[in-house]
Amino acid sequence: MTFERTGSRHDLAARRARVARVIRLAPSVVRVTFAGDELADLPAEGPEDHVKVFFPDPATGELHAPRTVDGTLQRPTSGVSVSRDYTPRALRATADGTELDLELVLHGVDDGAPAGPASSWAASAEVGDELVVAGPRGSRGVPAGIDRLVLVADETAMPAAARWIEQAPTGVAVTVILDLADEKADAYVDAPAPDGGPSPFARASVERLYRIDGPGQVAEAVRSLDVGATTFVWAAGEATTLIPVRRYLRHELGLPHDQVKVDGYWKRGVTNRDHHEPLDPTDPD
Ligand SMILES: Cc1cc2nc3c(=O)[nH]c(=O)nc-3n(C[C@H](O)[C@H](O)[C@H](O)COP(=O)(O)OP(=O)(O)OC[C@H]3O[C@@H](n4cnc5c(N)ncnc54)[C@H](O)[C@@H]3O)c2cc1C
């Protein structure tokens, strides 16, 4: 079987938006709702679409971000631009315009790890704060013809995993392996969807693993799955954690490139990791 995915490219645009609401979904995750006229035509169709969010420079508090002028993206000519990748969790039209939800992990808040500018901004986000969102560059749909979807996600990849579940056609069985810091993150898994409906994870068969219980559990859990010829596997989260997952799927099981997507959303000890870099530098795709 070939795992064909519909795809579309989007003109790159930068959109200003203001914080309209902040909800704490779990001790280490906030859902920030943005509003603004410029969000109206933001395309966010695919489950793993992502945007570059421009945050204020922590040193000065100033926001230096691109602007769209006459359909062209213009980079800032001064200052330090600080941007990170995030998943548009939900986009909706309201009586007042368009709203965009992002769900941001507050790392460093209670795990002792160094917090980056995005996490620090999110920890103190307030109504009225302004940011710029650029992208997404493109969208890809759920592969056609699959009968099972396996999702492997840590907290940073849960917005995308939730979108995969929401977009999986009825009849596609969804199995999720969640790599969570500890049981406090359960509140995030169980939180209502942005539209107030039940958590999308309620529709899936979910295994919760807790990093506090030790390393290596994610790869072990993936090894215990029965991955069939019509199963698509998507995994995202901490890059080093996912290397053995990818090795198992691609090399031990021999799954073809288009049946597996493993994306290193962040890497322990690395600031602003570029997720286009090979997950496993010794074995690039
Ligand atoms: C396509 C894509 C989509 C993404 N979607 C989301 C999303 O929807 N929600 C979300 O929260 N994140 C998402 N991420 C991950 C997010 O971009 C990174 O976690 C990012 O590094 C956070 O920026 P920062 O400024 O807080 O930290 P950085 O300045 O990048 O890093 C500072 C330090 O913090 C560490 N660090 C970074 N992230 C974490 C973490 N989660 N836990 C513990 N330590 C960490 C780094 O290793 C580094 O040591 C996505 C990433 C990609 C590539």
175: which strand partners?
Answer: 150, 205
CA distance 85 to 13: 15
Instruction: Ligand 1 pocket test: pick from 137, 156, 164 the residue with the most ligand atoms within 8 Å of its Cβ.
Output: 156
What are the average pLDDT values for consecutive 10-residue runs of the chain, which has 285 residues?
94 96 97 97 95 97 95 93 98 95 89 84 97 96 97 98 98 98 97 98 98 96 96 98 98 97 97 96 88
Interatomic CA distance for residues 250 and 233, integer angstroms: 11
Taking alpha carbons only, the member of 85, 7, 80 closest to residue 53 is: 85
Q: Of 67, 19, 10, 62, which Cα lies nearest the Cα of 41? A: 10
What lies within 8 Å, CB to CB, of 77 at 6+ separation is none
Distance 136 CA to ligand 1 centre (A): 17
CATH of 7-138, one of 2.102.10.10, 2.30.30.100, 2.40.30.10, 3.40.50.720: 2.40.30.10
- Amino acid symbol at 203: R
What does the pLDDT read at residue 109?
65
- Give, using CA atoms, the residue closest to atom 24 of ligand 1: 116
> Ligand 1 centroid vs 66 CA: distance in angstroms?
21
Residue nearest to atom 42 of ligand 1 (CA): 107
CA 32 to chain centroid, in Å, comes to 14
Q: Which residues pair with 29 in a beta bridge?
A: 26, 105
At residue 30, the pLDDT reads 98
Give the distance (Å) from ligand 1 centre to CA of residue 144: 30
Of all protein residues, whose CA lies closest to atom 12 belonging to ligand 1? 156
CA–centroid distance, residue 270 to ligand 1 (Å)? 9
pLDDT of residue 115: 85
Give the number of other CB atoms < 10 A from CB of residue 81: 16
Pick the CATH number of 142-266 from 3.30.70.3450, 3.40.50.1370, 3.10.20.90, 3.40.50.80: 3.40.50.80
In 3D, which of 122, 150, 132 has the Cα closest to residue 231? 150
Phi, psi of 207 (to 5 degrees): -110, 125
Instruction: Report the distance separating Cα 153 and Cα 263, nearest Å.
Output: 10
Q: Indicate which atom in ligand 1 lies nearest the CA of residue 268.
A: 47
Calculate how far, in angstroms, residue 168's C-alpha sits from the geometric centre of ligand 1: 26
Q: ω before 215 within 30° of 0 (cis)?
A: no
Which of 28, 261, 265, 275 has most ligand 1 atoms within 8 Å of CB, for mutation?
265
Residues having CB within 6 Å of any atom of ligand 1: 50, 84-87, 103-105, 107, 113-114, 116-119, 156, 159, 265-272, 275
Do 240 and 218 touch, CB atoms closer than 8 A? no
CB 96 within 8 A of CB 165: no
Which of 32, 80, 104, 119 is the pocket-test mutation for ligand 1 (most atoms within 8 Å of CB)? 119
Do 56 and 62 meet the contact criterion of CB atoms below 8 Å apart? yes
The pair of structure tokens assigned to 269 is 């000890």
The single-letter DSSP state of residue 143 is: P
C-alpha dist (Å) from residue 214 to 20, 182, 211, 236, 285? 38, 11, 5, 19, 29
Q: Structure tokens of 107?
A: 């790392």
CB 238 within 8 Å of CB 152: no
Which regions of 51-107 does DSSP assign to beta strands (E)?
51-55, 67-69, 72-74, 82-86, 88-94, 97-105
In this structure, the number of other CB atoms found within 10 A of the CB of residue 244 comes to: 17
Residue with CA nearest ligand 1 atom 19 = 266
For the chain, domain boundaries: 7-138, 142-266
